[in-house]
Chain A
Amino acid sequence: MKRAKDWMPGLLLTAPSLVALAIFVYGFIGWNFRISLTNWKALSPDYSFIGLQNYRDLLVDERFKIDIKNSLIFTVVFMVACLLLGLLLAILLDQKLKFEGLFRSVYLLPMAISFIVTGVVWRWLMNPATDDRISGINLLFTKIGLDSLVNQWHLTPNWGMAGIALPAVWQMAGYTMALFLAGIRSIPEEIREAGRVDGASEWRIYRHVILPQLRPIALSAIVILGHISLKVFDLIIAIAGKQLALDVPAIYMWQTSFDAYNFGKGATLATYILFSVAIVIIPYLIFTMRQERNS
């Protein structure tokens, strides 16, 4: 057994944040779960236990089905577009461009903006009005003769969430690029050289040398983007407000808790969001921990 002198100072120094973490993260997760098992439906707390009734109700809830569908559409469009665009930009920037630093900052800059600001700006850009009230990107399309591209954006029936994903891609693609670029740069030049010596084309080098080594980076990107998309709230509120066509679990949770004062059901929705994020994060954590142990 180690002597207290060795581990004591470390523990003491981390203790405050450990305690805060225990209360404000895990304590609240537990408290939220406890409320999700109650019949609390008014302003004043009601802790009468009703088991998993709230969860069962949610399974047959029509609005919740729409939320899941919307959440999935958003997540798929957002992640695929971010990863592809991010990778493409990273590869382009890897070509030893002149003003690389400038381009890098320009692509990365949107990430520094809050989703609310992005949402407000894109609400104007994606104005769905037609004919003489046309504006935003649609107006641009008609000015340059691409009338066929004019569309309803986030108000497109059934696929509106894909429209909502556009601003999110705009904001996060640069960040994904930065991740990939860092990954590409960490690959030693000698490996590429070896490929070239063996007579591989640049395309084949990217396909068979660079891409496989970017797998851990891609995984991190998926986890980071995935948890953003599963909890998206502010972006949608800023673009579309509270409309059922563009509803996601986080907005449903907010409305249930604070507009309808149904805190039991709101907590149930919050637990659902936690689980959906956990499904993405926990395998990743296990994976990285195993890797660290192996290395």
Chain B
Amino acid sequence: MKLRKSKLFGAIAIAASIALTATGCSSGGGSNASGQVEVFSWWTGGGEEAGLNALVEVFKQEYPDVEFVNAAVAGGAGTNARAVLATRLQAGEAPDSFQGHAGAELFDYITAGQLEDLSSLYDEEGWRKVMPATLLPLITVDGKIYSVPVNIHRANVMWANPKVLADNGISKPGSWDEFFAAADKLKAKGITPLALGEQWTQLHLFETVLLGVLGTDAYNGLWNGTTGWNSVEAKGALDTFKRVLTYTNSDAASLSWQDASKLVIDGKAAFNIMGDWAEGYFRVDNSLVEQEGYTWAPAPGTAGTFQFLSDSFTLPVGAKNRDAAIAWLKVAGSAAGQDAFNVKKGSIPARNDADKAIYPPYLQSAMDDWGSNKIAGSLTHGVTASNAWKAEIDTALGLFLQNKDVAKFQAALATAATSAGK
């Protein structure tokens, strides 16, 4: 009976993965002969793809005999990729290595027993010394390290149009109260104060408001249970968030994050809050110069804090080309690999011994901040909450966007934290 169950389940999973690949996801698939390494990610466009390609180049130089198979699945922040990955893992068709956000999101795979312990690789390569001490606990369970982080992005960045600020005599707001004062001025002139996009960017905004109003320690406490979601302080943050939403564009739900950034570029909006991958969009895609076409500051109330997310690569249990996968991880964790990747991707390397000089000015300052600031994790990008918890918060946020009822929102967030065991 037991056997039949698992066979049947395998059949389901295979059928599901066939259906998924058939819907246009560019899965590498195919043969898994030795001498190949199949790497799964959601880096399929722009700087992300360029970064991956640069990393692959380094890999090819060091391991010319191994063929790299790109099993990337399109979809921002891995929305489609994770579904494909889940079915593949359950069907026992694991890729040789897959991308995962360091932090709670990765713990889902670890607790499911789907990842191999990489501690010995860390010892061999001397990574314990070069990987940041703030990052290691996020990929460690019971003293075992489960993934190799390749980059770090900053989430709490407020982007602005310098010309709009100058024309209206506004400086970059250091707190949400300052923002409201500036926003009233802009609104009176018919300029959208804060450009906003679809729901996940609103979740992103929500986490930076939480961080800005509560402060770093209380914000971090939300995720380990020491700050209550029912507290007065949390309610203050939710009230602020509600007010911030009144200063945003009415068509937010139909815009991607790039569309929202474009509003700032075109001077139709003054500010936008987005992670620092937007820097590449300003500088590379739109050929703008920092301080002329765009400028930035930490999101209101978050100066001195670096709210981060990090992509990492793993070694799944049952990887068909285990040796090649380990070779891939060695390259991903190497200084040469990380420098090649991050300059293109527009993020800072996870290693603290990178060649700073080759990075553009924004990233150099981000490296300084990463080294000196207080650290907080990003919710939207998988650091602080498990996928289940994040999904519940996302639903609560979606309901709040409908009814704008702070009390209900707070109750739903508290319930979500309880069911997540905090």
Taking Cβ atoms with an 8 Å cutoff, the residues of A that contact B are 23-24, 27-28, 31, 41-45, 47, 62-63, 66, 123, 127-133, 152, 154-155, 240-245, 247, 254-262
A-B pairs with lowest CB-CB distance, top 9: A244-B398, A260-B391, A258-B83, A43-B112, A44-B112, A128-B251, A260-B388, A129-B251, A243-B199
Neighbouring B residues of A62 by C-beta, 8 Å = 399, 412
Nearest CB in chain B: distance from A212 CB, A: 42
Is B402 a contact partner of A31 (Cβ separation < 8 A)? no
Which residue of A has the minimal Cβ distance to B197?
A241
Is B391 a contact partner of A63 (Cβ separation < 8 A)? no
Neighbouring B residues of A45 by C-beta, 8 Å = 9, 90
Neighbouring A residues of B12 by C-beta, 8 Å = 28, 31
Q: A42-B111, A259-B83 are in contact. List 5 more A-B contacts (CB 8 A).
A: A43-B90, A62-B399, A127-B254, A243-B398, A255-B391
Provide 26 A-B residue pairs closer than 8 Å at the C-beta atoms, listed in order of the A residue: A28-B15, A31-B9, A31-B12, A41-B388, A42-B112, A43-B89, A43-B109, A45-B90, A62-B412, A63-B395, A128-B250, A133-B251, A133-B268, A152-B250, A155-B253, A240-B254, A241-B198, A241-B199, A244-B397, A244-B402, A245-B402, A257-B83, A260-B388, A260-B392, A261-B86, A261-B388
- B387 on interface, CB distance cutoff 8 Å: yes
Output the residue of B79, B392, B412 with the most chain A CB within 10 A: B79
Neighbouring A residues of B113 by C-beta, 8 Å = 44
Neighbouring B residues of A66 by C-beta, 8 Å = 399, 402
- B407 on interface, CB distance cutoff 8 Å: no
In the complex, per-residue mask of B239-263: 1 if CB is within 8 Å of any chain A CB, else 0: 0000000000111011000000000
Nearest CB in chain B: distance from A164 CB, A: 12
Is B268 a contact partner of A123 (Cβ separation < 8 A)? no
| Inter-chain contact total with CB atoms closer than 8 Å | 102
Neighbouring A residues of B249 by C-beta, 8 Å = 129
In the complex, per-residue mask of B72-104: 1 if CB is within 8 Å of any chain A CB, else 0: 000000010011001001100000000000000
Neighbouring B residues of A262 by C-beta, 8 Å = 388, 391
Taking Cβ atoms with an 8 Å cutoff, the residues of B that contact A are 5, 8-9, 11-12, 15, 79, 82-83, 86, 89-90, 108-109, 111-114, 190, 198-200, 249-251, 253-254, 268, 387-388, 390-392, 395, 397-399, 401-402, 412
Cα distance, A63 to B5, chains bound together (Å): 32
Is B114 a contact partner of A44 (Cβ separation < 8 A)? yes
Is B86 a contact partner of A258 (Cβ separation < 8 A)? yes
Neighbouring A residues of B8 by C-beta, 8 Å = 27, 31
Neighbouring A residues of B112 by C-beta, 8 Å = 42-44
Is A258 a contact partner of B82 (Cβ separation < 8 A)? yes
Neighbouring B residues of A245 by C-beta, 8 Å = 253, 398, 401-402
Is B114 a contact partner of A244 (Cβ separation < 8 A)? no
Is B15 a contact partner of A63 (Cβ separation < 8 A)? no
Is A242 a contact partner of B387 (Cβ separation < 8 A)? no
Which residue of B has the minimal Cβ distance to A63?
B395
Neighbouring A residues of B5 by C-beta, 8 Å = 47
Cα distance, A123 to B259, chains bound together (Å): 14
Neighbouring A residues of B9 by C-beta, 8 Å = 31, 45
Cα distance, A41 to B401, chains bound together (Å): 27
Output the residue of A63, A123, A131, A258 with the most chain B CB within 10 A: A258
Neighbouring B residues of A127 by C-beta, 8 Å = 251, 254
Nearest CB in chain A: distance from B261 CB, A: 14
Which residue of B has the minimal Cβ distance to A245?
B402
Neighbouring B residues of A247 by C-beta, 8 Å = 398
**Given A28-B12, A123-B254, A128-B251, are A244 and B401 neighbors across the interface (CB < 8 Å)?**
yes
Which residue of B has the minimal Cβ distance to A42?
B112
Is B251 a contact partner of A256 (Cβ separation < 8 A)? no
Cα distance, A44 to B90, chains bound together (Å): 7
**Given A31-B8, A258-B86, are A155 and B391 neighbors across the interface (CB < 8 Å)?**
no
Which residue of B has the minimal Cβ distance to A32?
B12
Which residue of B has the minimal Cβ distance to A61?
B395
Which residue of B has the minimal Cβ distance to A259?
B391
Neighbouring B residues of A243 by C-beta, 8 Å = 198-199, 253, 398
Which residue of B has the minimal Cβ distance to A131?
B190
Neighbouring B residues of A129 by C-beta, 8 Å = 249, 251, 254
**Given A244-B199, A259-B79, A260-B392, are A132 and B108 neighbors across the interface (CB < 8 Å)?**
no
Which residue of A has the minimal Cβ distance to B190?
A131
